[in-house]
Structure 1
Amino acid sequence: MLLLALGHACVDVYQGAVAALVPFFVAERAYTYAAASGIVLAASLLSSVVQPLFGALTDKWAMPWLLPVSTLVGGTGVALAGVGGDYALTLLAVAVSGIGVAAYHPEAARVARRASRGSHTAMSWFSLGGNLGFATAPLLTAAVVATGGLGASPLLVVPALAGAALCVAALRGIRVADAAAPKNAAPAQPPPADDWPSFLRLSGAIVCRSIVFTGLSTFVSLYARQRTGGGEVAGTAALFVLYLGGAVGTVAGGRLAARHGRLPVVRWSYALTVLAVAGVVLVPGPALFLFVVLASAGLYVPFSLHITLGQDYLPRRIGTASGVTLGLTVSIGGLASPLVGALADTTSLGLALTPLIALPAVGWLLLRTLREPGGTDPG
């Protein structure tokens, strides 16, 4: 699980790096808000479409080789995004990165569930790896691009090289463990029937969470500069806080769920997010950072719980459930990002971010009547 978590961190650097590059595209290439958010859209669009496809494929065939290969593809795309100044080529590069990220997550979630033996806490550590990748992306990107400009982006391929090596080592360890396992275990019982209505409501809530998270991760850096007057340092700090708070929230989510149940924890997280996003958008000055921390916690505490709930609602389609909860519903937030950017271009960034306050409330309504897989709700 440690190797899988570290490999997950190396992959999700590239989800965070795309948003972290936005301020540099605006400053160095004079992109509008809409054009800059189109970069995020390019990374998300193909990922949204193909990730459930990869999930369905992994339901039929185990494809562990996807882990190192997709890690390299994801890193190569971001590494090439800063090369040259052509907008179309930049879109293509981040789209290739999005495909790599899409190919990684369903198979990685399937392998992690197998290695964790169904433990919610263990899955939260796997998710923590991805969140740490998000958290380090702004610092890594700023260190590379602020020093050498966008032309230095090929250096961003380094985490992909490390991640591919970690994935290979993790898969080798799992094969060794399987070979050493006793062969006389009782045959596994067939999984229960899939609960598609509950899964679809869960997915709708995750879409709401995704739009909020993607909107904040795309624009909070620029917004923090405006609201605090702290310049580039304030912007990078706000994005780092958004991602780092998620690392803490993910682990807390697994522990809280073990004590209080998954669904109560998820519902309270969505309720907290409503208040936290309102603070980010409406409160001026340094207090903005406090609300970024709260928003990060509200958005990330349910993250690993979404994965295990989705897998338990579709026990016969683990890959599909992982592809949707880790992929389609998460990536679809990038589809809304250009709308936020276009509204910001015509009005103001603060006004464009205001609709994000209502979306966690919609997610809470979708979650309100869900029951734990198996028919009970411990909350």
Structure 2
Amino acid sequence: MEAEVKDTTPALSEPAQTAAEKTVYSILLALSFSHLLNDTIQSLIPAIYPLVKDSLKINFTQVGLITLTFQMTASVLQPLVGIYTDKHPQPYSLAIGMGFTLTGLICLSMANSFLLVLLSVGLVGMGSAVFHPESSRLAYMASGGQHGMAQSLFQLGGNAGSSLGPLLAALIIVPYGQFNVIWFSLAALLAIAVMLNIAAWYKRNRSRVRAKRKAAGNTAVQLPRGRVAGALAVLLVLIFSKYFYMASMTNYYTFYLIDKFHISVQSAQVYLFIFLFALAAGTFIGGPVGDRIGRKYVIWISILGVAPFTLLLPHVGLFWTAVLSVFIGVILSSAFSAILVYAQELVPGKVGMIAGLFFGLAFGMAGIGSAVLGRLADHTSINHVFHLCAWLPLIGLLTWLLPDVEHKRR
């Protein structure tokens, strides 16, 4: 039997406790908008792959290495950032991180070699490593207890930005050349301005951090450490299945459409936008629904429920490919917010660490998946890659092993 843990957190004043219980929609919207700008910039990287592949004469393996560099830079650093800022909050870190992204963007617009492209995307990855765990913590602080809704609203901005990137690339970069990436530095500058305002609120409301930690300690479900570790391991495997499949879509969907249906690069970018817009549209579902019916149910539906559509996708024509991509995007996108908040409830008081770990793993799996799938495509075909990845959502059956945290709390 576990020893009872006494609450030694200092008592909070009633105004501080009341403030911590209010949802600050202005901050949540500002974070969502910042996420939109951040991920619009990041999504330019895979969006210009066909252009870079032709201009630099690189193969699919090298395309995968570009994504691996970007994603691994972000994934390795994110948990470290989260652990550090849990103990030492840094209000202005968001603006500093966007400064790295801005520098990488400028370098990418002028990159004339494969190594310079790797350096550029690495800098963008560093900016992402700072942005995601700290922004997730701020969303948690401003949620007023509606953690699922706050994370979904935050993720909505990111997925909307990810869907805009390919469309803007098709309109601005593909027709006029790689140097036009530099125009998106204006988005980075706008994001820095918004983040400075968020930082000012962060400095004024640090009492919310103590209030949230005390509330988390009072409502936490006490599970054995082994059970918590096992649940976290299952969640990480589910992240693997989700983001390995996502890597096939975000990085190679355009190549798949061009190869199988012989459409133009610009048309393929439009179809990629449709898929990514479906991701954005479905993002807001998972959090609020998880707040209402339980996050475990949302995880079941989101990851395992998408399997029939992924299995059918490689066997249909262009029209139904587009239709199925919408269903896949809407269903699959609801998982991450539910998984993240579920994990934060398993390990209360470690919001930044958990956010960094899961965002980092998501980025890492996307990077590794891109590299592995690129290598596989070079040795087989893009069609083979999509047939193989279609089976990944069946890993969602592992959701059965997760404890019913919401039922225990009630």
Task: Tell me the TM-score normalised to structure 1 length.
Answer: 0.91
The equivalent position to 1:355 in structure 2, one of 356, 379, 388, is 388
The equivalent position to 2:332 in structure 1, one of 285, 288, 299, is 299
Task: After superposing the two structures, state which structure 1 stretch, 115-124 or 76-85, moved more.
Answer: 76-85
Gaps of 5+ in 2: 1-27
Q: What secondary structure, in the 3-state scheme, does the structure 2 residue paired with 1:116 have?
A: coil
The equivalent position to 1:202 in structure 2, one of 230, 235, 241, is 235
The equivalent position to 1:18 in structure 2, one of 45, 54, 69, is 45
Instruction: State how far apart, in whole Å, the 2-side matches of 1:205 and 1:186 are.
Output: 27
Q: Does the CA-based 8 Å contact 1:210-1:329 persist in structure 2? A: yes
CA offset digits 1:240-263 (Å, max 9, x no partner) = 112111111111222332443211
Instruction: State how far apart, in whole Å, the 1-side matches of 2:324 and 2:211 are.
Output: 54
Q: Does the CA-based 8 Å contact 2:231-2:401 persist in structure 1? A: no
1:1-379 matches, within 5 Å, as 1-119=28-146, 120-176=148-204, 190=217, 192=220, 195-362=228-395, 364-373=396-405, 376=408
Task: Return the offset for 1:177.
Answer: 5.9
Q: Does the CA-based 8 Å contact 1:17-1:141 persist in structure 2? A: yes
Letter of the 1:332 counterpart: M
Q: Does the CA-based 8 Å contact 2:56-2:114 persist in structure 1? A: no
Q: Does the CA-based 8 Å contact 1:251-1:301 persist in structure 2? A: yes
Sort the Cα spacing of 1:184 and 1:116 in 2 relative to 1 into closer, same or farther, 3 A.
closer
Instruction: State how far apart, in whole Å, the 2-side matches of 1:349 and 1:149 are.
Output: 26
Task: After superposing the two structures, state which structure 1 stretch, 279-288 or 335-344, moved more.
Answer: 279-288
Instruction: State how far apart, in whole Å, the 2-side matches of 1:240 and 1:125 are.
Output: 20
Q: Does the CA-based 8 Å contact 1:141-1:156 persist in structure 2? A: no
Q: Does the CA-based 8 Å contact 1:17-1:78 persist in structure 2? A: no
Q: Does the CA-based 8 Å contact 1:144-1:156 persist in structure 2? A: no
Instruction: State how far apart, in whole Å, the 2-side matches of 1:186 and 1:60 are.
Output: 12
CA offset digits 1:95-130 (Å, max 9, x no partner) = 111111011111111111001123121221111011
CA RMSD between the two structures: 2.5
2:5 — aligned with what?
none
Gaps of 5+ in 1: none
Q: What secondary structure, in the 3-state scheme, does the structure 1 residue paired with 2:345 have?
A: helix
Sort the Cα spacing of 1:78 and 1:212 in 2 relative to 1 into closer, same or farther, 3 A.
farther
Q: What secondary structure, in the 3-state scheme, does the structure 2 residue paired with 1:51 have?
A: helix
CA offset digits 1:10-58 (Å, max 9, x no partner) = 1112332211121111232232111112111110112121111111111
